[in-house]
Amino acid sequence: MSWSVFSEENFKKVVEHAPVGIVIIDRELKWQFVNGRFCEITGYSRDELAGKTFLDITYKEDIGRNLNLYNKLLNGEVNEYYYEKRYVRKTGEIIWVRLAVAGVRIGNEYSHMVVSVQDIDASKKNQQMLEMRNEELDTLLYKASHDLRAPVTTLAGLCNLLILEHDFLQQSETFRHLDDTIQRLKKQNDSLLQLTHIQEWSPVSQQISLSTLVEGVLTDMGVPVSSVQIDSTGVEITTDGNLLRLALRPILENALAYRREDRDLEIHVSYECMDGQHRIAIKDNGQGIPDKELEHIMGMFHRASVQSHGSGLGLYIARKAIEKLRGVIHAESAEVEGSVFQLYFPF
């Protein structure tokens, strides 16, 4: 490659017409050079910027952190930093930018900094709008599920009272259908409440016995512990036990719900420490999951089988709980042979 084409004149042209703002700022925080794109971003001409420092056009709430980063550069604590901040344009409009800042030292003495400035205002505002809408949806979801809890519980109680008062209702198919519908509604609502709790949850790490935790989940489900092979006796891990419990239960429930009638159910829970993270595998010999459904099974309200009578939220809750632990769930399955769910999350 020949570098001869990059004469000083050509280099200046490249910098001047770069798609990002490029500036050079001296020790007094004044502009020594600004390219055309930076002028477009801020709305100021070169002459107007000449009498200002970069703090003069920085949004007031960002000045403190900006100065803190600059002082670290000045003192040699860092050689570069990346920072999202707000500028106040000449029109008074506030815009978001992303800075990449590099300090230049001459003879071990700080001389100036070279900064690239990218306009991220549109994407930042879209992100903030999305976060606001998600927050509104979370609030609506919590309020709706919380408000439904009392009437659903009341309906379930009334059904029980009616059966006590009128024995013949137990033989009524219509009444059994009503009771089943109320129970499914209750389970759905409980699942929605679990989701809102996970979203608000701040993980608290503690040392837990993995085998004890799995046995507790099985007991809560009414499943004999002896029916599941747990290869984690003596294993203790540090994590949020409540979130891990929420992740494990739907997977174990599915293993029970989709067992094969022609053979005894086998569930195998194992643990491995690998690559700086925990790995828990739950393997069953059930019906398995069709390939076309596998990539969707952890989506909200997804049901992979017509025989599913759950809320459609179980595996979605498991995924969200593990994501709260900064981990992932990987599922593998073969129809007729069974499924394996592997949970990976850091120490």
Final residue before a domain boundary, out of 135, 166, 200: 200
Is 183 within the bounds of a domain? yes
Residues 347, 208 share a domain:
yes
Residues 274, 188 share a domain:
no
Is 249 within the bounds of a domain? yes
HEC assignment per residue over 188-202:
HHHHHHHHHHHHHCC
Number of domains in the chain: 3
pLDDT, the chain, mean: 85
Say which CATH number the domain at 138 has. Answer: 1.10.287
Alpha-carbon distance of 285 to 333, in angstroms, equals: 10
Contact 284, 266 (CB under 8 A): yes
Task: Name the helix (H) or strand (E) containing 346.
Answer: strand 338-346
CA angle 181, 183, 184 (to 5 degrees): 65
The fraction of the chain above a pLDDT of 70, given in percent, is 93
**Closest to 216 (Cα-Cα) out of 203, 228, 200, 207:** 228
Residues 196, 87 share a domain:
no
Beta bridge mates, 268: 229, 283
Say which CATH number the domain at 222 has. Answer: 3.30.565.10
Residues 341, 289 share a domain:
yes
CA distances from 12 to 4, 33, 152 (A): 14, 11, 71
Burial class of residue 267 in the structure, from the number of CB atoms within 10 Å of its CB (0-12 exposed, 13-18 middle, 19+ buried)? buried
Residues 217, 342 share a domain:
yes
pLDDT in tens, 246-303: 999 999 988 888 888 888 888 899 999 887 789 999 999 888 888 888 888 887 766 6
Residues 179, 43 share a domain:
no
Final residue before a domain boundary, out of 119, 149, 184: 119
Is 338 within the bounds of a domain? yes
- What is the chain's Cα-based Rg? 30
Is 3 within the bounds of a domain? no
Contact 32, 24 (CB under 8 A): yes
Residues 172, 50 share a domain:
no
pLDDT in tens, 108-154: 889 999 999 999 999 888 888 887 877 776 676 667 777 777 888 88
Residues 210, 341 share a domain:
yes
Residues 271, 319 share a domain:
yes
The fraction of the chain above a pLDDT of 90, given in percent, is 37
Is 238 within the bounds of a domain? yes
Final residue before a domain boundary, out of 119, 145, 166: 119
Is 1 within the bounds of a domain? no
pLDDT in tens, 161-216: 888 888 888 888 888 888 888 887 887 777 777 777 787 788 888 999 999 999 99
DSSP assignment of 231-252, as one string?
Answer: E-TT-EEEE-HHHHHHHHHHHH
Cβ of 26: how many Cβ atoms within 10 Å?
14
Residues 306, 254 share a domain:
yes
pLDDT band at residue 304 using 50, 70 and 90 as cut-offs: low
Main-chain phi, psi angles of 97, to 5 degrees: -135, 155
Q: What is the mean predicted confidence (pLDDT) over 219-238?
A: 84
Domain with 263, as residue range(s), is 204-347
Alpha-carbon distance of 37 to 121, in angstroms, equals: 15
pLDDT of residue 102: 94
Residues 209, 180 share a domain:
no
Say which CATH number the domain at 61 has. Answer: 3.30.450.20
pLDDT band at residue 95 using 50, 70 and 90 as cut-offs: very high
Beta bridge mates, 236: 209
Residues 337, 230 share a domain:
yes
Is 2 within the bounds of a domain? no
